[in-house]
Amino acid sequence: MSATLETIEAMERPPVTMAPRLDGELLEISMGPQHPSTHGVFRMNVALEGEVVRKLKPVFGYLHRNHEKIGENSSYLGSMPYTDRLDYFCSMTNNWAYALSVEKLAGIEVPERAQYLRIVLAELTRLQNHASLLGFLLNDMGAWGTPLMYAFREREKILDLFESLSGSRMMCDYMRFGGCRCDTPPGWMEQAKKIVDRFPRFIDELEQLVVGNEVVIGRTQNVGVLSPELAIDAGITGPMLRACGVNYDIRKVDGYGFYPRFKFRIPLGEHGDTYDRLMLRVLEMGESLSILQQAFAQIQPGPITNPKVKIRAFRPPAGEAYGRIEGPKGELGFYLISDGGPNPYRYRVRPPSFINLTVLEDLCLGHTVADVMVILGSIDIVMGEVDR
Amino acid sequence: MITVQYPEERNLLPENYRNFPFLIYDGDDAHAGLRCVACKICEKECPPQCIYIIKSEDKKPDYMGKPQLYPKVFDIDISVCMSCQICVEVCPFEAIKMDKDFELSKRERFDALLVRKEELSKSNDYYHKIHPIEAAAVDKNLTDAAAAAEAKKKAAAEAAMKAAAAKAAAANTTPLQPTATSPSKPDA
């Protein structure tokens, strides 16, 4: 029977009921996964009382792509390009963390120049990650576009360096077990020096425009306060932890690579609020610049790969290793178990973004929805790493 | 930083820029000069498993004149390849290198995205054009390897000749001796 106008009219309609008023009740909404401020496909189920957050449940897994299982089925070298895709802002540090774990597992020495190059690249990565994070954070606060474009201008210069060195802007795939893949092209170091020399201008500009800005202070101070006790209990690392005043930087604690040869300070926060997290990153950029200047002064020509490492049919001895570095977002670690075969028996990533995200509810309770975006922005997550 | 009016103006790509691999052939003939010997190492090592190779039944001479197999089928799935350069690193024959072409959009979704051997094969001159420094180093390596192989062959041949001569000399001396010292030839 086809539905004509008459039959529809003749149909019985259910009685219209008015929804009861929601006074004193919580309103549940699902923010994300297509929310522009969630930095990817991240969802939060929020229970609101008026505008105030009373409950928050993070939902992730939308970008899950089986990274660890793929790593267990591909060769040791074959996992290297996949690590670029974890935290796609910082592929150089991801490469380093993975190479470090495999070097620990197989007992591989790294030549001097490669160690310096790795530090240069890791600090450049930190600069561009922090710069773009600050841009995104201000974007979330409502400063549409301009600060982000300022940050991206600087980031683009560093990505150009990465492209001329490794062949790709973001998916660098540059480090290898026992060194780096290729030496710097002619003129690369000079270019890098130029960018590093000019970078303080960006930091000064940012400080002048943003850090003392009344709106920024109003939106960030005393918002999302993280106590040092909770931070330590929850395993928070990186700028999040140091903003609470806990002095823990793996560059100092572990002294991996050639970091013990460098003089640098660890900036620490005091209150653990969003403002401290923002400011700490500005200060860290300054320290990175000083590390870079020292590295440029110390780096010497020389071999960049260990000739003893086999490219084809690489098989580390049976055993286990955990290598970790201070990534721009926190402790990035790779845990590997080898059974002597061509691929790892177990391959596990300890992603800083994912573990830093676990305290999101504690930070957001009692704040408004608009603050949730700012707090989430200050945690510095990349969904490629959270979901893996 | 200046805006570049893209299709008309182009930024110069850096020497190390990489996007999608191609196969190299020496000389003018894409079949005869193809360096690939279908050893299948790249197929095995490729992280996303985007290379597909079938070996040939017959053999053709490689750049040193040694008879080698060649790939009857060599396909790379462009939609799977992530341009990680691992095939280039593991290739022992300098046969596969990274291209710089990034304008790879196709009008068809399935067959056009599977790039065949014929489309993958590009000349060594093209390689020199896109990666001049790297290509020069590779050519030097290859000529050095060929020269070393030639020298080794020569040395081996000389050694073989010497050994043969010594053997012949020994062979000559041994049958001669009994005749020379033989008492059955008094007229000698």
Find the angle CA(A199)-CA(A204)-CA(A205) to the nearest 5 degrees.
Answer: 95
Question: Which one of A73, A83, A173, A175 would you mutate to disrupt binding with B, by most B Cβ within 10 Å of its Cβ?
Answer: A173
Q: Which of B1, B14, B86 sits opposite A164 (nearest CB)?
A: B14
ipTM over the 0.85 cut-off: no
Query: DSSP string spanning A40-94?
Result: SS-EEEEEEETTEEEEEEEE--TT---HHHHHHHS-TGGGHHHHHTTSTT-HHHH
Give the closest-approach CA distance of B18 to chain A in angstroms. Answer: 5
Record the tokens describing residue B83, joined without a space.
């341009």
Name the superfamily (CATH) of residues A67-387: Cytochrome-c3 Hydrogenase, chain B (1.10.645.10)
User: pTM to 2 decimals?
Assistant: 0.83
Question: pLDDT digits over A173-197, tens only?
Answer: 888 888 888 888 888 999 999 999 9
Is the Cβ pair B83, A168 closer than 8 Å? yes
The CA distance from A188 to A211, in Å, is: 33
The CA distance from B75 to A283, in Å, is: 51
Cite the beta strand spans of chain A per DSSP E: 27-31, 43-49, 52-59, 175-176, 179-180, 319-327, 330-338, 346-350
Query: DSSP string spanning B82-133?
Result: ----HHHHH-TTS-EEE--------S-SSGGGEE-HHHHEEEHHHHHHH-HH
- Residue B16: closest C-alpha in chain A: A167
A82 interfacial to chain B (CB closer than 8 Å): yes
Contacts of A165 in chain B (CB under 8 A): 16
pLDDT of residue A129: 92
Half-sphere exposure of A220 (CA within 13 A, CB side): 28
Q: Which residues contact A368 (CB under 8 A, 6 or more apart)?
A: A51, A52, A53
- Is residue A29 helix, strand or coil? strand
User: Are the beta carbons of A154 and A128 closer than 8 angstroms?
Assistant: yes
Q: Which residues contact A370 (CB under 8 A, 6 or more apart)?
A: A51
A232 interfacial to chain B (CB closer than 8 Å): no
Give the closest-approach CA distance of A257 to chain B in angstroms. Answer: 25
Mean pLDDT, consecutive 10-residue stretches, chain A (388 aa), reads 62 65 74 74 85 86 88 88 89 91 89 90 92 87 84 89 89 88 87 91 86 84 88 90 90 87 89 89 91 90 84 85 90 90 90 89 88 87 86
- Is residue A349 helix, strand or coil? strand
The domain segmentation of chain A, as residue ranges, is 67-387
Q: Which of A77, A164, A167 sits opposite B86 (nearest CB)?
A: A77
Is the Cβ pair A81, B82 closer than 8 Å? yes
- Is residue B19 helix, strand or coil? coil
Q: Which residues contact A174 (CB under 8 A, 6 or more apart)?
A: A91, A92, A95, A121, A162, A165, A166, A180, A181
Query: DSSP string spanning B31-80?
Result: TTTB------HHHHH-TT--EEEEE-SS-EE-TTS-EE--EEEEEEETTT
The CA distance from A64 to A61, in Å, is: 5
pLDDT of residue B182: 46
pLDDT of residue B153: 80
List chain B residues with pLDDT less than 70: 1, 63, 171-188
Question: Which one of A67, A69, A76, A77 would you mutate to disrupt binding with B, by most B Cβ within 10 Å of its Cβ?
Answer: A77
pLDDT of residue B101: 85
pLDDT of residue A18: 63
pLDDT of residue B180: 47
Residue whose structure tokens are 């090592």:
B45
Q: Which of B17, B83, B133 sits opposite A163 (nearest CB)?
A: B17
The CA distance from B168 to B161, in Å, is: 10
Q: What is the DSSP letter of A36?
A: G
Give the closest-approach CA distance of A313 to chain B in angstroms. Answer: 9
Q: Give φ, ψ of A269 to 5 degrees.
A: -90, 180
